[in-house]
Chain A
């Protein structure tokens, strides 16, 4: 069976549940007291999709402002980006729109964008209507799901949707990730974070 490596990065405001989504997907576990990610965290998981194996190389980035400048290092060369917001925090949805803009301008041209409205188990505290988010996602041709890492709702589905949208087996190269560089030209990006 053919193995494809897909680089996926998670972006979004701090505390929206990026790490929890990854944790649920990779290990099927949930820790309510998880600490904020520092820098970025790398994990992999291989799943079967039709007659291919998709190995997701997942970059779970920190949402904190001070790591913001490092994001290009992670979305560069990504096959997909999952942008996460918290349905109980309107502000996190605004941050999401900024991420979409940034990906448009600086991200890889064919990147698959998935929008995940996390914490959908907290319906009582909802601030972002599902319809608004869905309409926005449609307007930018992004995958849209509301998820709950806590209750394991729609987590695998996000990744299945990504598998579906990834262009079928391009010629070798393309998304084959072996030996890809984490970064742009070093000289260009060196100053970004200081």
Chain B
């Protein structure tokens, strides 16, 4: 069953070049992708763009309208004209929404219903913001009345981005300088987060029956999931790259874990996912059923945000919106051992399946201990991340490498200079910048080299991979370019350990 790994090895170039095509780059899966559509950065944004285009097509005077709105907004919503100074983030919900502190947050996110009722705010309380959200909804409907669609407002170093996903409206107010496209992508994630709790069918049903329903009733107690997702969007390269990272593990050990999981199957079991913190250990899926990386990130967020799965075995409905927005799956979520980081998620289609799933877990555990793979994972968890020094490229501080065909990425630990939270967020901000340049809507770039006092950065995208390298400011462009080849060679050498090369199905 696992034999093809060696045979296929010979088909793969030993010395990869940046010209590699999708499917042969380091980290590319051997048989088939784990994910539904691994290169789907565009998945998130194209949908919204298409809708926006469709809506704007009948009216060609869109540009003028938008300009008018710039003016309008300055009169109408002083709340949104936030000052640009930033203060340390306080995450208290009780924050006064008229205070300077509230205004100075770098990124606000609001969710409201089409009736203008507040559903979520990242900072402050929804009640206190009902008039502000009313204004937001007024803007949206005013433009809609003209058969047009409001996409963004740029004013005073601050961007306001709108995403209408009936029956919800999402608004992002940002001073981070990210592109509209990036902000939309983040709003889209928040939308999917809400759908994953309720399903789109239920959302539609509720608002069809009662337009001014207060959705906070149903979301009460889950706000922290959205809070955490927003935090992840700022910190987790996986969400930026539309990819997932793996726990580095010898391929022999990973194969044992995967096949043990594969053997512990059940009729209604669709996905078995083993996580180590924010890292994927393995994923086994039903034949022909694919998990989208967005859905997987929502699962990561659910498990990572809550300590409640630490006790006993969890059983919860979850909608995987990229799979199907209409219905719930039912997930059995439990840690392998009480204080372990290893969390097993078994996704079933049947809500009565708890004991079957529990039984699958037992069988998986028995196999693991028989083949002593648990110990291998435990050892791997002792050093879940590698140092960039192992790559052996002078002046290289950090990098992100994504294999497009597998939808997996790898990245070393942050070096000394990026140890603080602020520095890590700053570096992620730089990566985000590069990312939006590479994926620019009208002028996409293949590569980008950028120097600054603090660091030099190189980003490169091919049909097979996407790589972002961060060098010390002493590095030269020539060194950076030659480093890409060295890095790819190193990843090729280590790909067994860093990636899941042979994903399994039941």
Q: Do A and B come together as binding partners?
A: yes
Q: Are A41 and B202 in contact (CB under 8 A)?
A: no
Q: Are A41 and B220 in contact (CB under 8 A)?
A: no
Contact status of A41 and B314, CB under 8 A, knowing A14-B221, A35-B307, A36-B221: yes
Q: Which of B224, B305, B306, B353 is most buried by chain A, counting CB atoms within 10 A of its CB?
A: B306
B205 interface residue per 8 A CB criterion: yes
In the complex, chain B residues whose CB is within 8 Å of the CB of A194: 199, 201-202, 205, 327-328
Q: Are A40 and B201 in contact (CB under 8 A)?
A: no
Contact status of A35 and B306, CB under 8 A, knowing A66-B197, A66-B198, A186-B352: yes
Closest-CB distance, A190 to chain B (whole angstroms)? 8
Task: Kindly supply a per-residue 1/0 record for chain A positions 159-192, scoring 1 wherever the CB is within 8 Å of any chain B CB and 0 otherwise.
Answer: 0000000000000000000010111001001100
- Contact count band on A: 35 or more
Closest-CB distance, A48 to chain B (whole angstroms)? 21
Q: How far is the CA of A22 from the CA of B311 in the complex (A)?
A: 9
A31 interface residue per 8 A CB criterion: yes
Closest-CB distance, A159 to chain B (whole angstroms)? 16
Specify the chain B residue showing the minimal Cβ separation from A42.
Answer: B313
Q: Are B352 and A34 in contact (CB under 8 A)?
A: no
Specify the chain B residue showing the minimal Cβ separation from A39.
Answer: B316
In the complex, chain B residues whose CB is within 8 Å of the CB of A58: 312
B46 interface residue per 8 A CB criterion: no
B218 interface residue per 8 A CB criterion: yes
Task: Kindly supply a per-residue 1/0 record for chain A positions 34-66, scoring 1 wherever the CB is within 8 Å of any chain B CB and 0 otherwise.
Answer: 111111111100000000000000101011111
Contact status of A34 and B307, CB under 8 A, knowing A43-B312, A194-B328: yes
Q: Which of A34, A41, A67 is most buried by chain B, counting CB atoms within 10 A of its CB?
A: A41
B350 interface residue per 8 A CB criterion: yes
Q: How far is the CA of A16 from the CA of B425 in the complex (A)?
A: 37
In the complex, chain A residues whose CB is within 8 Å of the CB of B306: 35-36, 38
Kindly identify which residue among A15, A22, A40 contacts B314, using a CB–CB cutoff of 8 Å: A40
Closest-CB distance, B150 to chain A (whole angstroms)? 30
Contact status of A66 and B308, CB under 8 A, knowing A39-B316, A40-B314, A182-B354: no
A123 interface residue per 8 A CB criterion: no
Q: Are A60 and B350 in contact (CB under 8 A)?
A: no
Q: Are A65 and B316 in contact (CB under 8 A)?
A: no
Which residues 158-207 in B have Cβ within 8 Å of A in the complex?
197-199, 201-202, 205
Specify the chain A residue showing the minimal Cβ separation from B307.
Answer: A35
Task: Kindly supply a per-residue 1/0 record for chain A positions 10-44, scoring 1 wherever the CB is within 8 Å of any chain B CB and 0 otherwise.
Answer: 00001100010011001100010111111111110
A125 interface residue per 8 A CB criterion: no
Closest-CB distance, A103 to chain B (whole angstroms)? 20
Q: How far is the CA of A27 from the CA of B220 in the complex (A)?
A: 28
In the complex, chain A residues whose CB is within 8 Å of the CB of B317: 39, 67, 70, 193
Q: How far is the CA of A39 from the CA of B309 in the complex (A)?
A: 10
B240 interface residue per 8 A CB criterion: no
Specify the chain B residue showing the minimal Cβ separation from A186.
Answer: B352
Kindly identify which residue among A34, A65, A73 contacts B218, using a CB–CB cutoff of 8 Å: A65
Q: How far is the CA of A132 from the CA of B91 in the complex (A)?
A: 39
Specify the chain A residue showing the minimal Cβ separation from B197.
Answer: A66
Closest-CB distance, A147 to chain B (whole angstroms)? 18
Specify the chain A residue showing the minimal Cβ separation from B198.
Answer: A66
Which residues 230-276 in B have Cβ within 8 Å of A in the complex?
none
Q: How far is the CA of A14 from the CA of B302 in the complex (A)?
A: 18
Q: Are B221 and A41 in contact (CB under 8 A)?
A: no
Closest-CB distance, A16 to chain B (whole angstroms)? 12
Q: How far is the CA of A62 from the CA of B355 in the complex (A)?
A: 19
Kindly identify which residue among B201, B327, B350 contacts A186, using a CB–CB cutoff of 8 Å: B350
Closest-CB distance, B222 to chain A (whole angstroms)? 7
B217 interface residue per 8 A CB criterion: yes
In the complex, chain A residues whose CB is within 8 Å of the CB of B201: 194
Q: How far is the CA of A35 from the CA of B217 in the complex (A)?
A: 18
Which residues 287-341 in B have Cβ within 8 Å of A in the complex?
302, 305-309, 311-317, 327-328, 331
In the complex, chain B residues whose CB is within 8 Å of the CB of A36: 221-222, 306, 308
Q: Are A182 and B307 in contact (CB under 8 A)?
A: no
Q: Are A181 and B352 in contact (CB under 8 A)?
A: yes
Kindly identify which residue among B197, B222, B315, B352 contacts A41, using a CB–CB cutoff of 8 Å: B315
Q: Are A182 and B218 in contact (CB under 8 A)?
A: no
Specify the chain B residue showing the minimal Cβ separation from A36.
Answer: B221
In the complex, chain B residues whose CB is within 8 Å of the CB of A63: 221
Closest-CB distance, B324 to chain A (whole angstroms)? 12
Specify the chain A residue showing the minimal Cβ separation from B313.
Answer: A42
In the complex, chain A residues whose CB is within 8 Å of the CB of B351: 70, 73, 182-183, 186, 189-190
Closest-CB distance, B305 to chain A (whole angstroms)? 8
- Interface pairs A-B: 5 shortest CB-CB: A39-B316, A43-B312, A183-B352, A64-B221, A182-B352
**Pairs A–B under 8 Å by Cβ, sample size 11:** A35-B306, A37-B308, A37-B314, A39-B315, A42-B312, A42-B315, A60-B311, A62-B316, A66-B220, A186-B351, A194-B327
Instruction: Beyond the given A40-B314, A194-B328, please list 10 additional residue pairs across the A-B interface where CB-CB is below 8 A.
Output: A31-B307, A36-B222, A38-B309, A42-B315, A42-B358, A67-B316, A182-B352, A186-B350, A190-B351, A194-B199
